[in-house]
Chain A
Amino acid sequence: MPATEISNDRTEWSKVLTPQRGWLEIRWKELWDYRDLIGLLVRRDFIATYKQTVLGPIWFLLQPIFTTIIFTIVFGRIAKISTDAIPAPLFYLGGLVMWQYFADCLNKTSNTFANNAALFGKVYFPRLVVPVSVVITNLLTFTIQFTLFLGFLCFFMAKGAPVAPNFRIIVLPVLIVLMAALGLGAGCLVSALTTRYRDLSVAVSFGVQLWMYGSAVVYPLSNIAHEWRWLFVLNPMVPIIEAFRFAFLGAGVVEVWQLGIGAAMCFAILFAGIVTFNHVEKTFADTV
């Protein structure tokens, strides 16, 4: 049947599976087609966390409260690090709530391949669905912790503390998007690399901790000498946290161009992360 042979060759294939995928060949449409799965994974993770922990969502409140108490004692009372004249608990809690969201995104997405090996070995769906759902799930935790922060803020304002939330709080959604991008990007990058280098996964949680100390969580940027500030601005988390404090507490050293550089870096890392992740996902199943 030569006629059918010819027509077969002209067939429009909906998918061609080849050994290598181009570095920039990212199937955005497919990711969009699986948006329902993202939603259901978010729901699953939320229900699972809620049901499996004894204290439920209370846990999300205890963690920042205790860390704030410890920071207030260690960095505020003992080390006597300046908090820009802001009440110490408010200063630390603000930084922590923001930092926690980023750190959770990074920590949880960096285990994507290791944690989902069984699932990924049995069925295909765009693997990016998983880290994206993690970033969204973490928003729920963030909301709980942010509400706690607002409670603290009201309490301290009622007591007449020198804090001044201002119109700049409208920048919050932008800051969240930047942190999500940075956490997702760095997490994707790490998870792609850990499929090749197992020893890297050990370094991640340790690295995230170190990163916090370089991110103006326990000290204000104003504490850093002028000639070194440019170095801190290279860390996108510094302008994000400073901007948050500036908007909600009225004290912080941040300029629009710094936030601009931070944003550019966040999206550069997000892009690098997604590209690397996309490249690895094709052969990941062979390495576990």
Chain B
Amino acid sequence: MSVVIRAENISKRYRLGVINRRMLYQDLQSGWARLRGKEDPNRPVSHNGARVEGDDTFWALRDVNFDITSGEVIGIIGRNGAGKSTLLKVLSEITAPTSGAVKLKGRVASLLEVGTGFHPELTGRENVFLNGTILGMTKAEVRSRFDEIVAFSEIEKFIDTPVKRYSSGMYVRLAFAVAAHLRPEILIVDEVLAVGDAAFQKRCMGKMEQVADNEGRTVIFVSHNMQAVSTLTHRCLLMNDGRVTFDGPTDQAIGQYLREGAVEEHVYVSPPDGEEPRIVRAEVVTSEPAYIQSTGKTMEVRFKVHVPRAMRDAAISFQVMNAYEQPVMHLWVFDSGLPLCQETGTVELVCKVPKLRLYMGKYTLTLHFVAGSRRLQMVERVCAFEVVLYGQSREIDWQPGACAYLEEATWSAAERTTSC
């Protein structure tokens, strides 16, 4: 097997906040000052007058090294901000590394978004050609696969309708179909598979597996969905703080990823913000001591919100995430339903779940606090708690991960026939 991607010490630095504010006038001013041997009036200066350097830069990738051989399906996992997206952008040539080099063999197609370059006024047919060529195919290649693409998308009837009339499902299906029929030597796929309906997602995954297994193509797959990563890949790069912290078998990588994330923070506490409303405390009140909750019993989630400034369109919600970081429950409250931030001061909120039906396992909360479409606060992996099935015995022991939640139901025999 030959190496098709080699990353050699790639690092990527971003400058924070300075680029967009740059003015031609300032550069001319600086240049003029240097010419006269004067001090640059635009040079950043710290409080004591010393020259400042490096405090506005951020290393999204640091010394990343790996080899990928042809035919491999490799996953890249890590927390938000660990550098996954930056790595994909460097590999897909969207941005250049600050140092180091990426060596590639063969054509690369990157799928960081579904339907890149789709134009609403064009018909489905025209968009298939446009999107296909944007992704690196020639017109002749698209033409030769056109029927396959349309069949895969299941929208034959509407292929000559402008895509602005499509439902979002149809739009996504067509876009996926184009992507699924790319024939690059290296395919880079971001979280895009997370959209679309489940049946279609499954078909796309199947298609990706087929691409890798039968056609010997290399696939790089980035996802937060550990389920998808573990079914699709055998090897994973685990990223943390811009570095590759683990490179090896997928199950070990996922294990380490989940361990790293196991921050047992039961009570979330945050200092108040002087200007914006903020959740300053969140806690799960469980039925048993030590943050243990019995299935079927009452559970409460309590919030304390600091409101220095009244506002009308606030909303608070929380997702309950399982140990694989999949959301299993989402509960929310809007300002229109319950005044949250209409007056300044501190508000205490209680969300009461009378009978928690979650199955046994470890859970955490992801908190969301928004005002209209503006995000005020988002906190992940807090308020850890464990759900147990104490007092709910059955003849066979409960197996972990057998289901997501338990529903109340009754069984009865609808009809009994004695003779066979």
Residues in chain A within 8 A of chain B (CB atoms): 7-8, 11-21, 33-34, 36-37, 39-41, 43-44, 47-48, 51-52, 119-125, 193, 196-200, 282-288
Report the bound CA distance from A13 to B4 in whole Å: 8
Cβ-neighbour of A15 out of B90, B100, B104, B117 (below 8 A): B104
Asked if A123 contacts B25 (CB within 8 A), the reply is no
B70 → A minimal CB distance (Å): 11
Contacts of A33 in B (CB 8 A): 138
Name A45's closest neighbour in chain B (CB-CB). Answer: B119
Name A33's closest neighbour in chain B (CB-CB). Answer: B138
B 1-33 binary contact with A (CB < 8 Å = 1; else 0) = 011001000000011000111111101000000
Question: Assuming A47-B126, A123-B135, A199-B24, is B104 touching A19 (CB within 8 A)?
Answer: no
Asked if B24 contacts A200 (CB within 8 A), the reply is yes
Name A119's closest neighbour in chain B (CB-CB). Answer: B117
Report the bound CA distance from A125 to B134 in whole Å: 7
For B, the interface residue count at a CB cutoff of 8 angstroms equals 51
Contacts of B25 in A (CB 8 A): 199
Cβ-neighbour of A43 out of B14, B105, B126 (below 8 A): B126
Asked if A287 contacts B19 (CB within 8 A), the reply is yes
Cβ-neighbour of A44 out of B102, B106, B116, B126 (below 8 A): B126
Asked if A120 contacts B90 (CB within 8 A), the reply is no
Asked if A37 contacts B133 (CB within 8 A), the reply is yes
Report the bound CA distance from A224 to B117 in whole Å: 49
Name B14's closest neighbour in chain A (CB-CB). Answer: A286
Report the bound CA distance from A44 to B103 in whole Å: 34
Q: Is B136 an interface residue (CB 8 A)?
A: yes
Which of B23, B121, B133, B138 is most buried by chain A, counting CB atoms within 10 A of its CB? B133
Asked if B106 contacts A285 (CB within 8 A), the reply is no
Which of B2, B90, B99, B121 is most buried by chain A, counting CB atoms within 10 A of its CB? B121
B 97-112 binary contact with A (CB < 8 Å = 1; else 0) = 1111111111110101
Cβ-neighbour of A198 out of B22, B100, B103, B117 (below 8 A): B22
Contacts of A7 in B (CB 8 A): 2
Contacts of B105 in A (CB 8 A): 11-15
Asked if A197 contacts B24 (CB within 8 A), the reply is yes
Q: Is B95 an interface residue (CB 8 A)?
A: yes
Name A51's closest neighbour in chain B (CB-CB). Answer: B121
Q: Is B113 an interface residue (CB 8 A)?
A: yes
Asked if A16 contacts B138 (CB within 8 A), the reply is no
Asked if B97 contacts A17 (CB within 8 A), the reply is yes
